[in-house]
Amino acid sequence: MDILKQKITPFLWYDNQAEEAANYYVSIFKDSKITNVSRYDKEGAAVSGMPEGSVMTIEFEIAGQVFTALNGGPTFNFTPAISFVVSCETQQEIDDLWEKLSAGGETSQCGWLTDKFGVTWQIVPSILEKLMGGPDKKKSGRAMEAMLKMTKLDIDALKKAYEGA
Count how many Cα atoms sit within 13 Å of the Cα of residue 141 in the half-sphere of its side chain: 3
The rounded distance, in Å, linking the Cα atoms of 97 and 135 is 30
Indicate if the pLDDT at residue 165 is higher than 90. Answer: no
pLDDT, tens only, 25-51: 999 999 999 999 999 999 999 999 999
Residues 159, 95, single domain; the answer is yes
How confident is the model at residue 2, as a pLDDT? 52
Residues 51, 99, single domain; the answer is no
Count, residues in the chain:
165
The rounded distance, in Å, linking the Cα atoms of 155 and 37 is 38
Indicate if the pLDDT at residue 92 is higher than 60. Answer: yes
- pTM of the predicted structure, to 2 decimals: 0.92
- The pLDDT of 149-165, averaged and rounded, is 96
Indicate if the pLDDT at residue 128 is higher than 80. Answer: yes
Q: Which domain holds residue 137?
A: 78-165
Indicate if the pLDDT at residue 1 is higher than 50. Answer: no
φ, ψ of residue 57 in degrees (nearest 5) = -130, 155
How confident is the model at residue 3, as a pLDDT? 52
Last residue of a domain, one of 76, 98, 117: 76
How confident is the model at residue 6, as a pLDDT? 83
Indicate if the pLDDT at residue 98 is higher than 50. Answer: yes
Last residue of a domain, one of 46, 76, 106: 76
The total number of structural domains that make up the chain: 2
Percent pLDDT > 70 in the chain is 97
The mean predicted confidence, pLDDT, of the chain is: 95
Which residue type does 15 have? D
SS3 (DSSP) at 61? strand
Q: Assign 60 a pLDDT band (cuts: 50, 70, 90).
A: very high
Residues 84, 162, single domain; the answer is yes
Instruction: Please list the alpha-helical segments (H only) found in 10-72.
Output: 18-28, 42-48
- The pLDDT of 91-114, averaged and rounded, is 98
Residues 40, 52, single domain; the answer is yes
Residues 14, 55, single domain; the answer is yes
